[in-house]
């Protein structure tokens, strides 16, 4: 992949700016209950002279995140974090006094489970009250330790199942050495990546039960509790268990790795997708997939479940007895049962007769009703509608991550933090041409093309993430965000002004989506470019980070100066339509800018 050089600049101009008005296309808010999908009103028409270059934010799946609906009930990530020195002192005191830890910030109460229905009956029990010989981890960690319960958090379970396949990454999130033996005090700790930093979260081991059984995530082994406690820690970070109903695998995978997620619309799958997946699997990236549909947890005749999150657990070329090869993808349903693919290359497909025993062993072929199955790549692309790949960054692959995983690291990353400030650097998207230039600009130079690219193009993966809505109180919303890429001519290093953006078209762009992060893969000729991240409307304030992945090291420099601007009041927030959280919105084909990049899956299984 190409070498990339990155320079960030705040614009430094004395010209005051005023925004032009623009239409406010519709977006979608999350509802706490499943609702019928409403008809979407047609957006107001722009004058003919403006229509070609007017952005429309995608109809995202979480303008009002499920997390935001309950974030104020039990605190946020900052509250969940315990300083290490305080933690060790607390542990010591608990052991000496023979007391068990009770988390005051995530109490064993109904509001920690369902804030909207706090009077539901659950019995909180510690593992030693559930079974005689509880273990944190029994016989190692496996993706089969992750089974879904009552909660509609299949997106989270699919991500945890993928995490469990990489011991080094798993140990970063779930620190080793925790158990129910000597030194047990009812306290367990976990680590999550949050807006560029790893933070430690501590929980007690009281878990919701009914009739003596765990209600939510659990292991196949009733004596094993790491998965249930990890789910509890993630629920604490998000405010409650209820907040985990409906979500994106991308968010969970990034929170577990610090990596950058790339999303693929399989309805328009790129020609080299199998190569991308094969390399991602080789590099130990985390992958997930789903079928977007109006159906609520609908089972198809082929055995697949719509509106449901799956893990991608392997990508291989299978050698057949006749010497040919078949591109295969292994997929796992977090329900961990007989609900599996029934087509070609499924567990009982006669096509496996074309494969010898050694090759089956290499592929770890298993016909058990465990939720995991193989399928042909061509069927994978045909049946699933969305693929999410979480690329691992060097920071993730270093430090505690060693061995084979460290040797396979593929990506280098450049990270820049920024902020959209009202009347300073929150200029809105390019619809607002008079203020767009006041947004922060990130200069990128693609030095070399990809090593094996016949078109002499270089690839970068860009991710724009806004500060997590978990810190926003009830009713908080994600802003609609995106970015545009412009090619520079010549070697002028001056900040780009309003005139440049008025008379130059963008080279590439992301969708504008009301989600935590927008990302995209861009193949560009070697040269110098400017990336302009923005909210859709001007004067929307938030912190953000811009991340760029490339195969070779990135060189970055920061030049900071600020300019004030005057803008007319921002257009109203995109009109709110309720999104059905148990359903995935279908991708819009109106234009690339309106394509849905993220959807939430929220199937439950008791």
Task: Kindly list the catalytic residues.
Answer: 154, 308, 333
Using left for φ > 0, alpha for ψ between -120 and 50, and beta otherwise, residue 35 falls in beta
Return the residue matching tokens 């199955």: 373
Please report, for residues 18, 70, 540, 580, 598, the alpha-carbon distance to residue 476 in angstroms, rounded to integers and kept in the order given.
28, 10, 13, 18, 18
Judge contact between 402 and 353, C-beta under 8 A: no
Tell me the β-bridge partners of 309: 290
What's phi and psi for 205, nearest 5 deg? -105, 25
DSSP state at residue 496: P
Token pair listed for 309: 């999150």
What would the DSSP string read from start to end of 99-144? -----TTS-SSGGGT-TTSTTS--EEE-HHHH-SS-BSSSSS--GG
Place of tokens 């449901």: 308
Residue 454's contacts (CB-CB under 8 Å, 6 or more residues apart) are: none
Is residue 279 a contact partner of residue 413, using CB atoms and an 8 Å limit? no
Residues 6+ apart with CB under 8 A from 392: 169, 257, 259, 283, 284, 285, 286, 409, 410, 411
Sheet harboring 458-466: ordered strands across? 412-420, 542-550, 458-466, 517-524
- Sheet of 207-210: strand order equals 123-125, 207-210, 213-214
- Residue 23: closest CA among 57, 39, 46: 46
The C-alpha atoms of residue 220 and residue 112 are separated, in whole angstroms, by: 25
β-strands 27-30, 576-579 pairing = parallel
Please give the Cα distance from 253 to 162 (Å, whole number).
Answer: 9
Distance separating alpha carbons of residues 551 and 555, to the nearest angstrom: 13
d(CA 398, CA 403): 10
**Rounded Cα gap, residues 331 and 373, in angstroms:** 6
Nearest to 310 by CA among 503, 178, 143: 143
HSE toward the beta carbon, residue 430, CA cutoff 13 A: 29
- How many helices (H) and strands (E) are present in the chain, helices listed first? 13, 23
- Residue 118 structure tokens: 């706090």
CA angle, residues 321, 324, 325, in degrees to nearest 5? 105
């Amino acid at each position: 992949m190409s070498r990339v050089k990155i320079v960030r600049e705040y614009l430094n101009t004395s010209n005051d700016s005023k925004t032009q008005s623009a239409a406010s296309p519709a977006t979608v808010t999350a509802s706490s209950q499943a609702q019928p999908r409403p008809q979407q009103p047609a957006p107001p028409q722009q004058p003919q002279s403006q229509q070609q270059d007017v952005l429309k934010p995608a109809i995202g799946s979480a303008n009002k995140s499920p997390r935001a609906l309950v974030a104020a009930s039990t605190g946020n990530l900052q509250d969940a974090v315990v300083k290490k020195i305080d933690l060790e002192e607390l542990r010591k005191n608990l052991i000496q006094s023979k007391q068990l830890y009770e988390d005051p910030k995530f109490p064993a109460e109904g509001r920690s489970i369902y804030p909207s229905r706090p009077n539901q009956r659950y019995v909180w029990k510690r593992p030693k009250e559930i079974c005689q010989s509880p273990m944190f981890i029994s016989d190692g960690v496996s993706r089969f330790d992750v089974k879904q319960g009552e909660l509609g958090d299949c997106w989270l379970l699919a991500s945890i199942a993928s995490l469990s396949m990489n011991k080094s990454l798993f140990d970063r999130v779930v620190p080793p050495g925790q158990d129910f033996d000597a030194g047990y005090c009812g306290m367990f700790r976990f680590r999550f990546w949050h807006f560029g930093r790893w933070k430690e979260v501590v929980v007690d081991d009281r878990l919701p039960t009914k009739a003596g059984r765990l209600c939510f995530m659990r292991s196949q082994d009733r004596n094993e509790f790491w998965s249930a406690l990890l789910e509890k820690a993630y629920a604490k970070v998000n405010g409650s268990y209820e907040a985990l109903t409906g979500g994106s695998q991308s968010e969970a995978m990034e929170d577990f790795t610090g990596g950058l997620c790339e999303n693929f619309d399989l309805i328009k799958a790129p020609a080299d997708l199998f190569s991308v997946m094969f390399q991602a699997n080789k590099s130990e990236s985390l992958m997930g997939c789903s079928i977007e549909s109006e159906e609520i947890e609908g089972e198809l005749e082929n055995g697949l479940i719509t509106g449901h999150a799956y893990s991608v657990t392997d990508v291989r070329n299978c050698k057949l007895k006749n010497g040919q090869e078949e591109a295969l993808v292994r997929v796992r349903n977090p329900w961990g049962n007989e609900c599996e693919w029934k087509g070609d290359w499924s567990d009982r497909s006669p096509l496996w007769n074309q494969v010898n025993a050694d090759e089956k062993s290499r592929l770890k072929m298993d016909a058990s009703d465990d939720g995991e199955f193989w399928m042909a790549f061509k069927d994978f692309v045909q049946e699933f509608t969305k693929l999410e790949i979480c690329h691992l960054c060097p920071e993730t692959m270093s430090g505690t991550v060693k061995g084979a995983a460290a040797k396979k690291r593929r990506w280098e990353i450049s990270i820049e933090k920024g902020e959209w400030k009202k009347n300073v650097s929150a200029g809105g998207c390019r619809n607002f041409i008079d203020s767009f230039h006041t947004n922060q600009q990130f200069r990128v130079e693609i030095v070399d093309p990809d090593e094996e690219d016949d078109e002499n193009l270089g690839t970068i993966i860009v991710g724009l993430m806004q500060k997590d809505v978990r810190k926003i109180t009830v009713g908080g919303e994600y802003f609609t965000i995106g970015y545009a890429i412009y090619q520079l001519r010549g070697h002028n290093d001056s900040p780009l002004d309003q005139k440049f953006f008025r008379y130059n078209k963008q080279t590439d762009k992301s969708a504008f989506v009301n989600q935590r992060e927008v990302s995209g893969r861009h193949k560009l000729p070697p040269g110098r470019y400017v990336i302009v991240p923005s909210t859709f409307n001007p004067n929307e304030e938030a912190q953000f980070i811009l991340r760029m992945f490339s195969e070779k090291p990135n060189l970055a420099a920061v030049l900071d100066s600020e300019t004030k601007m005057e803008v007319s009041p921002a257009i109203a927030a995109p009109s709110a339509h309720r999104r059905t959280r148990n359903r995935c919105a279908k991708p819009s084909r109106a234009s690339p800018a309106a394509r849905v990049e993220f959807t939430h899956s929220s199937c439950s299984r008791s």
